Amino acid sequence: MSGQEHGVAHGRPSTRPRICITSGRDPLGEQPEQQYERVRAAYSGCVAESGGIPYILPTPGYDPALNATYLDFADGLIFSGGEDIHPSFYGEIVLEKCGAIDEKRDLFEIELFRGALERGLPVLGVCRGMQLIAVALGGSLYQDLSYCQDAGAFHAGAWQDGGEMPSVRLTSGTLLHQVIEEESLPVNCQHHQLIKALDHNCTVSAVSPDGMIEGIEVSGSPFVLGVHWHPERLALRDRCHLELFRALVRAAADYSRKAVSSKRP
């Protein structure tokens, strides 16, 4: 992995952008020699089908030099789903119904995201990944659905009992709306936390039937998009969800071309 050879593999120009996907450590609480770096295989499948080269990033802890190397290597990033983010990152204490936490992953990914934002690196955040974007920019979360009186149980997956997915409304004129090209979209919500507050640089791009935030993007950035559902699990049955990965790969290809051009004498 060389930042000086960005967009080049084995001396030949690469026509497929490199998409790095974050992973979680499982099982939590065990010693490193007992843990696996784990992420759902569907992320890699969606990236490959969309024309990108998927790479899985481990979570070794925050190391500025290592983060810089990852960012030099990547043409785009996917922040995958997983555990709850420690509430200390948004100025709160851990409440009773907050779920499992991996602070090492939180710090690593928050700093990785901030570095990506500085570089203009394309980013897609999925479920926890969307929450991470919000928190990294100064936003906050409801630590459980029960702490938000207006939230419906379908967010945590109760819709599966009836067999019909809820639909989110896409905000006209947003990047998400441009990518999906639909006014609404059925989604597989499976999260027990919600966005409470957003930084002014974040735009809401999707809203659930009960008014909760299901999609965000960062104003002024070429491609920083977060969704609260799991498009990687729906892409085979509904190609609208694959469009999120295709759009990321296109943005990553543009980023790679610009990075290579900027290094030419």
Check: CB of residue 206 under 8 Å from CB of residue 227: yes
**Where does 159-258 show beta strands of DSSP type E?**
167-170, 184-186, 194-197, 202-207, 213-218, 224-227
Question: How many residues comprise the chain?
Answer: 265
pLDDT in the model for residue 161: 59
pLDDT in the model for residue 229: 95
Query: How far, in Å, CA of 232 to CA of 229, rounded?
Result: 9
CATH architecture of 3-262: 3-Layer(aba) Sandwich (3.40)
In the chain, the percentage of residues whose pLDDT exceeds 70 is 90
* For residue 43, pLDDT beyond 70: yes
Which whole number is the average pLDDT over 136-155?
Answer: 91
pLDDT in the model for residue 259: 83
Q: In this predicted model, what pLDDT tens digit does every residue of 192-201 receive, in sequence order?
A: 999 999 999 9
What confidence category does residue 160 fall into, taking pLDDT thresholds of 50, 70 and 90?
Answer: low
Average pLDDT, the chain: 89
Take residue 261 and report the two structure tokens written for it: 């051009």
What confidence category does residue 7 fall into, taking pLDDT thresholds of 50, 70 and 90?
Answer: very low
pLDDT in the model for residue 17: 97
CA torsion sign for 4, 62, 140, 233 is: positive
Q: In this predicted model, what pLDDT tens digit does every residue of 19-32 receive, in sequence order?
A: 999 999 886 776 77
Q: In this predicted model, what pLDDT tens digit does every residue of 80-118 receive, in sequence order?
A: 999 999 999 999 999 999 999 999 999 999 999 999 999
Please state the φ and ψ torsions of residue 125, each to the nearest 5 degrees: -110, 130
Q: Quick one: CA torsion of 64, 65, 66, 69, rounded to 10 degrees?
A: 120
pLDDT in the model for residue 162: 62
Provide the residue type at 178 as one letter. Answer: Q
Q: Where are the domains of the chain?
A: 3-262
pLDDT in the model for residue 23: 95
Residues with catalytic annotation? 127, 230, 232
pLDDT in the model for residue 158: 62
